Amino acid sequence: MTGPLLKVENLTKHYPLGAGFLKKTIPTIRAVEDVSFTVEAGETLCIVGESGCGKSTVARLLMRLVDPTGGRVLIDGTDIAGLRKQELRAHRRRMQMVFQDPYSSLNPRLTAGQIITEPVENFERLTRKQRNALAADLLQKVGMAPEMMHRLPSELSGGQRQRLGIARALSLNPSLIIADEAVSALDVSVQAQILNLLLDLQQQMGLAFVFISHDLGVVEHIAHRVAVMYLGRIVELAPSEALFAKPVHPYTEALLAAAPVPDPTRVRLEAPVEGEVPSPINPPTGCAFHPRCPLAVERCRIEVPPLVPMADGRVVACHVRAPATESPGPRLRQPNRRHTVPEANA
C-alpha cells in the first residue's frame, strides 16, 4: 500500500452541552476543528500546545475512543472513522495507545504477564506456554527481566509501569502507537530512559508515533515533525529542526519563548503573549489567536487563516507571517503590548 500510514482529513469534534427545554440553540464545545495531517511509517509526529487546545481529544479520535463530528481518519487508506464495531475490531491491532498515567492505565488485579497477553487473547487463544513466552519476550524488549511477569503493578516503580504499558501496546505488533503525555508523570532521569527506549523500538520495529506532549525539550529530542495546536486548530506544522530554529507563527514563537533554557548565557526569544485562552464554547471570529497576538491585523479578526505551504516544507496558518494573498490590511490596536525578537546568541 502506497501513501502515508496515517492520514487525517478535516477532523472535527464538537461536544454539545445540555440545554433547557425552551432553549432554541445548544451551546457547543469546539474541541477539535478541521485538523489535517499525515504520518509516514517509522515517523514521529509530535502534537504540542497549551492545556485545553485539543491534543488529547485528537488522540482519542485517532483511536476511535470517541466518534468524530466530522472528517476522516485513514489507516493505510481505510477510514476507521466510518467503520462499524466489528469492522473496527480488526483494525485495533494496527494501532495502540500508551497513556499518561502508568498506574491508573493498568489493571491492579492482573500480573504484568497477564496485562501484556490480555490484548492478544482478545483476538486468539494462547496456551500457558505461549503466554509466558510472549510476556518474557516483550518484557525483555522494554528492558525488564522476564521473571517480573509475575509481579503486580503495585510492586513496580513508575518507570517500570510505563515500560509495562509500552510492552502491552507492542503485544499486538501495531504499526502506529499514540503516546499521550507518555513521560510527563515520570522523573527526568526516567523520562530519558523511556524516550530512548521508544526511539530504539522505532528503529527495530519500524513503528510510527503520534506523540502528544507539552514539554518542548522532549519534543525536540524525538520529533521528526511538530504540529502546534491552538484552540482546536493546527496553526503550524513543520519539520522539527526548522520549527525550533525559526518558528513562524506568533503562537509557536510564544511557546518556544516560554520554555526554560538550561544555558544561562543564551538569550531567548521574547514573544510576550497577554490574556487568557478564549473559551472553546465561544471562540473568537477569524483567527482564534488574534485577541492575544501582537502582530494581529484587521483581517485576522474577520477571516480564519488557511494553512499555507512555505518553502521549507512547513505549513502555517497566519495572515501576517504566511499570507495566502497580498495586503493583510491595517494593524489592530493592541494597547500595552510589545513584541521584540532579539537575535539569539547560540
Q: CA 35 to CA 6: how far, in whole Å? A: 13
pLDDT in the model for residue 183: 87
**Position with higher pLDDT, 42 vs 186:** 42
What residue type is assigned to position 269 of the chain? L
Q: CA 203 to CA 223: how far, in whole Å? A: 14
The answer to whether residues 244 and 219 touch, using CB atoms and an 8 Å cutoff, is no
Q: Which of 13-17, 25-29, 42-46, 160-164 has the lowest mean pLDDT?
A: 25-29
Q: How far is CA 37 from the centre of its chain?
A: 11
Q: Is the pLDDT of residue 67 over 60?
A: yes
The torsion angles phi and psi of 147, rounded to 5 degrees, stand at -65, -10
Cell numbers at residue 95, please? 494501532
Could you give the strand order of the β-sheet that contains 176-180, starting from the edge strand earlier in sequence? 95-98, 176-180, 208-212, 44-48, 225-230, 233-239, 315-316, 308-309
Cell numbers at residue 219, please? 519534543
Q: Where do the DSSP E strands lie in 214-305?
A: 225-230, 233-239
pLDDT in the model for residue 268: 60
Question: Distances in Å between the alpha carbon of 170 and those of 80, 102, 174?
Answer: 20, 15, 6
Which domains occur in the chain, in start order? 6-223 (3.40.50.300), 230-316 (no CATH)
* Each residue's pLDDT tens digit, 86-98: 888 888 889 999 9
CB atoms within 10 A of CB 103: 15
List, in order, residues 6 or more apart from 199 with CB less than 8 Å away: 222
Q: CA 257 to CA 261: how far, in whole Å? A: 9
What rounded mean pLDDT belongs to the chain? 87
pTM: 0.87
For 97-145, the DSSP string reads: EE-S-TTTTS-TTS-HHHHHHHHHHTTS---HHHHHHHHHHHHHHTT--
Mean of the pLDDT values across residues 59-79?
93
pLDDT confidence of 346, banded at 50, 70, 90? very low
* Each residue's pLDDT tens digit, 228-286: 999 999 999 999 999 999 999 999 998 888 877 666 666 665 656 777 788 888 889 99
What residue type is assigned to position 312 of the chain? D
